[in-house]
Amino acid sequence: DADVTQTPRNRITKTGKRIMLECSQTKGHDRMYWYRQDPGLGLRLIYYSFDVKDINKGEISDGYSVSRQAQAKFSLSLESAIPNQTALYFCATSQGNQPQHFGDGTRLSIL
Binding site for other proteins (CB under 8 A): 33, 35, 40-45, 48, 56, 58-59, 90, 92, 97, 99-105
Least distance between other proteins and beta carbon 2 (Å): 9
Q: At 85, is the secondary structure helix, strand, or coil? A: helix
> What is the SS3 string spanning 27-84?
CCCCEEEEEEEECCCEEEEEEEEEECCEEEECCCCCCCEEEEEECCEEEEEECCCCHH
Least distance between other proteins and beta carbon 86 (Å): 18
Tell me whether residue 31 or residue 85 sits nearer to other proteins (CB atom). 31
Tell me whether residue 50 or residue 67 sits nearer to other proteins (CB atom). 50
Contacts of 15 (CB under 8 A, 6+ apart): 81, 82, 83, 110, 111
Handedness of CA 57, 62, 64, 67 (dihedral sign): positive
Least distance between other proteins and beta carbon 19 (Å): 20
Least distance between other proteins and beta carbon 100 (Å): 6
Tell me whether residue 14 or residue 99 sits nearer to other proteins (CB atom). 99
Tell me whether residue 14 or residue 39 sits nearer to other proteins (CB atom). 39
